């Protein structure tokens, strides 16, 4: 699940979203078999990470679980620290990346889309079901030429989306819930066109969830398709849709909800079974599954339409402090946002809510406690002083993984926190953290 703004046509230098259960195992044989793993993946519940190291000369690195070759290193051995993702001849760097269920997808500076890792549903788009530990080109709709001319990619549980510069929306991989949006449930091992006949405006952003997909238009409308068991399509129903339907906002009392058009949206994010959006005023909306409070509305009640996230800021002098969100990310069962507030000099903080068993909210709590946080809490970063923990500051972007989270600082530092059983925090250890630590590039 990756996310994108209406003002940005590509997700350059973003931290990408990820997958549900990255498999165990090691070894470097490309044809080696790995059996006995849960093959259902959510876009955001992975135990591996892919991210860029530097803003001026970005190189893509991977770390964490690697049983499917999802780190793109040419091996299937886990790594506790970042290692550079392989590049094919003609590629000097990747310009964008997104992580799915045990696989990764990226755009090379040659303009071609590449994928690697788990492939039992054709999510690598190379017209095979062969799992790969090295990047390989995704095939275009003709099943022969490499997919290029793409401005954005988004990896979901076992499927992918790609937005071309001409506005065409493509998809490939698993389609059991209609998440490819082509009015069928037939899996595709190469790129096919999403049926966008019901979308009259230009599509400028995409996001892929566990088994659903999102698109944002130039007019601020949001469309969704795929699984809808938890209301993650946000259209006022729980009916699965094989074609895009428009997301609505919910209002009224519980016994008489009404659903009206959700508009003026600038940014979207898709999680396991929930979604987030930022509107033009900087407010956050959420819809879908809410069993762990991941909608941030103070309840654990799922919603079939978008509801406002209840972030309440105040201090001794101000009972109400105005705020705006500048970035969001939806994980498997938790959510993150970068929040700006304050008169004059703006204060920037990271807030998190939802599932917190592994410390993925980064609020400095005891691991295993606060398993559900229904309202946003400020993320903390460890400071080596007698003062202990202090707020994570000067953050420009955030992303959620399975049970861990990441944030990019204004000086390009990368922080991580949460579950670390496979080295997915990238700090050289396998110690889970309830506070942010720097990734050790």
pLDDT tens by residue, 349-405: 999 999 999 999 999 988 887 788 999 998 887 755 567 888 999 999 999 988 999
pLDDT of residue 172: 98
Closest-CA residue to 101 (of 48, 160, 156): 156
With contact defined as beta carbons under 8 Å apart, do 153 and 106 qualify? Answer: yes
pLDDT of residue 45: 54
pLDDT of residue 10: 37
* Mean pLDDT of the region 432-440: 93
Taking the C-alpha atoms of residue 173 and residue 122, their distance in angstroms, rounded to an integer, is 5
Q: Show Cβ contacts of residue 231 under 8 Å, excluding neighbours closer than 6 positions.
A: 237, 238, 287, 288, 289, 302, 303, 304, 305
Q: What are the angstrom distances between the C-alpha of 399 and each of 2, 15, 122, 298, 360?
A: 8, 6, 25, 22, 11
Phi, psi at residue 389, to the nearest 5°? -95, 145
The predicted-structure confidence for 15-51, as pLDDT tens digits, reads as follows 333 333 333 333 333 433 322 222 223 344 578 999 9
pLDDT of residue 29: 36
8 pLDDT higher than 50 = no
With contact defined as beta carbons under 8 Å apart, do 5 and 266 qualify? Answer: yes
* Surface-to-core class of residue 193, CB atoms within 10 Å of its CB (0-12 exposed, 13-18 middle, 19+ buried): middle
Q: What are the angstrom distances between the C-alpha of 261 and each of 17, 125, 222?
A: 27, 34, 9
CB burial string 105-140: b at 16+ within 10 A, e below? bbbbebebbbbbbbbbbbbbbbbeeebbbbbbbbbb
The predicted-structure confidence for 244-290, as pLDDT tens digits, reads as follows 999 999 999 988 999 999 999 999 999 999 999 999 999 999 999 99
pLDDT band at 84 (very low <50, low <70, confident <90, very high): very high
Tokens of 106: 């990226």
310 pLDDT higher than 70 = yes
Strand pairing report for 334-341 and 241-246:
unpaired
Go through the domains of the chain in sequence order and give each one's CATH number: 4-30+39-438 (2.130.10.30)
Dihedral sign for Cα atoms in the order 156, 162, 163, 169: negative
With contact defined as beta carbons under 8 Å apart, do 100 and 160 qualify? Answer: yes
Tokens of 131: 């799992």
The predicted-structure confidence for 155-201, as pLDDT tens digits, reads as follows 999 999 999 999 999 999 999 999 999 999 999 999 999 999 999 99
Share of the chain above pLDDT 70, in %: 89
C-alpha torsion 109→153→115→414, nearest 10: 80
């Amino acid at each position: 699940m990756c996310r994108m703004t209406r003002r940005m046509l590509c997700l350059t230098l973003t931290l990408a979203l990820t997958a549900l259960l990255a498999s165990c195992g090691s070894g470097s044989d490309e044809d080696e078999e790995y059996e006995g793993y849960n093959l259902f993946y959510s876009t955001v519940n992975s135990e591996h990470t892919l991210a860029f190291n530097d803003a001026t000369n970005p190189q893509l690195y991977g770390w964490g679980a690697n049983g499917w070759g999802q780190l793109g290193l040419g091996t299937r051995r886990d790594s506790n620290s970042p290692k550079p993702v392989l590049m094919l001849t003609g590629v000097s760097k990747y310009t964008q990346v997104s992580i799915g269920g045990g696989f990764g997808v990226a755009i090379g500076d040659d303009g071609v889309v590449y994928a690697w890792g788990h492939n039992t549903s054709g999510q690598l788009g190379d017209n095979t079901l062969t799992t790969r530990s090295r990047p390989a080109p995704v095939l275009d709709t003709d099943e022969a030429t490499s997919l290029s001319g793409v401005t954005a990619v988004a990896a979901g549980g076992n499927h992918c989306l790609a937005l071309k510069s001409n506005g065409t929306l493509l998809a490939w991989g698993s389609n059991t819930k209609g998440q490819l949006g082509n009015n069928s449930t037939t899996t595709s091992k190469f790129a096919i066109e999403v049926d966008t006949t019901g979308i009259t405006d230009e599509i400028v952003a995409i996001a892929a969830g566990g088994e659903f997909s999102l698109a944002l238009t130039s007019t601020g409308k949001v469309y969704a398709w795929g699984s809808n068991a938890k209301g993650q399509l946000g259209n006022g129903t729980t009916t699965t849709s094989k074609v895009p339907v428009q997301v609505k906002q919910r209002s009224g009392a519980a016994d008489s909800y009404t659903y009206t058009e959700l508009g003026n949206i600038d940014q979207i994010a898709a999680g396991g079974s929930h979604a987030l959006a930022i509107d033009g005023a900087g407010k956050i909306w959420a819809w879908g599954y809410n069993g762990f409070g991941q909608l941030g509305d103070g309840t654990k009640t799922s919603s079939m339409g978008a509801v406002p996230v209840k972030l309440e800021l105040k201090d001794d002098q101000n009972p109400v402090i105005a705020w705006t969100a500048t970035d969001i990310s939806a994980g498997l069962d938790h959510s993150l946002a970068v929040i700006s507030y304050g008169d004059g000099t703006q204060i920037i903080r990271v807030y998190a809510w939802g599932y917190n068993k592994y410390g993925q909210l980064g609020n400095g709590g005891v691991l295993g406690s606060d398993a559900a946080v229904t309202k946003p809490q400020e993320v903390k970063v460890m400071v080596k002083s007698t003062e202990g923990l202090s707020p994570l500051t000067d953050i420009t972007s955030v992303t959620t993984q399975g049970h861990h989270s990441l944030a990019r600082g204004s000086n390009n530092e990368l922080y991580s926190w949460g579950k670390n059983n496979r080295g997915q925090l990238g700090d050289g250890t396998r110690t889970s953290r309830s506070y942010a630590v720097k990734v050790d590039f």
